[in-house]
Amino acid sequence: MTRRTLLGSFAAVLSVLASGCGSNSITGGSLPPGPNRLAGTAAKATAPDQPVAGAQVVVTDASGAERRATTDASGQFTIAEAAAGPAQVQVTAAGMHTLSLGVELPQAGMVTVALAMVPSDVTVDVQSLVPNPPSIQARIGDRVHVSATPMVGPMHTTSVTPSWVVEGGVGGITHSGMGMAVFQAARTGAGRIVISLGSQQAVVPIEVSP
């Protein structure tokens, strides 16, 4: 798999953002589903141009309802119509540490992600994350390069890239290199990028205008 494959997946995610299509399964819980989507890709944290195929993605909302998806050969997945509100995303894959993230799902709209799966033989010891730019103002169609510099501790073993989550339904995101991603503005409004690595997070506010 190559960076071109990941960029193709990014285009597919933006297509889902526009069309609102997708498939998923649900178990447990009692809250009615909402017209929202969680979509994106999973890649190897030590080599973000390599998709992780066959990863199991589980979204659990506050009621305990679970929705599941499996990443395809390009590392892409979509989960549709989870209940709005805070949710936990857990991703598992062979040979990788389990990835757990908190997200805020809207009543309607898209949360897009570029997930980074850390190999099981890698130790992540991150003290903080410094994003650049610290905030984004963009117009629809703009592509904005974002980076996150980790301040690492003594147990850190190798370079890894973080996971990126775009909330607010304002656009998509894809890995573009070690510690880097590209945000593409797709809809007007306010949102944010939540960057996660190990136990640390950083937030980049977004404002998209026509």
Q: How many alpha carbons fall within 13 Å on the CB side of residue 61? A: 25
Q: What is the pLDDT along the chain (210 residues), one digit of tens a residue?
A: 454 444 454 555 455 454 443 334 433 333 444 578 999 999 999 999 999 999 999 999 877 899 999 999 999 999 988 888 999 999 999 999 999 999 999 988 889 999 999 999 999 999 999 999 999 999 999 999 999 999 988 888 789 999 999 999 999 999 999 999 999 999 999 999 999 999 999 999 999 999
pLDDT on residue 152:
87
5 conformational bin, left if phi > 0, alpha if psi -120 to 50, beta if neither: alpha
Q: What is the pTM of this model?
A: 0.85
- Give the pair of three-digit tokens for residue 23: 């498939």
Closest CA to 185 of 112, 134, 132: 112
85-92/47-51 β-pairing:
unpaired
Q: Report all structural domains of the chain as residue ranges with CATH numbers, in order of start.
A: 3-209 (2.60.40.10)
Greatest pairwise CA separation for the chain in angstroms: 46
Q: Residue 133: is the preceding peptide bond cis (ω within 30°)?
A: yes
Q: Which residues pair with 137 in a beta bridge?
A: 207
pLDDT on residue 11:
54
pLDDT on residue 30:
38
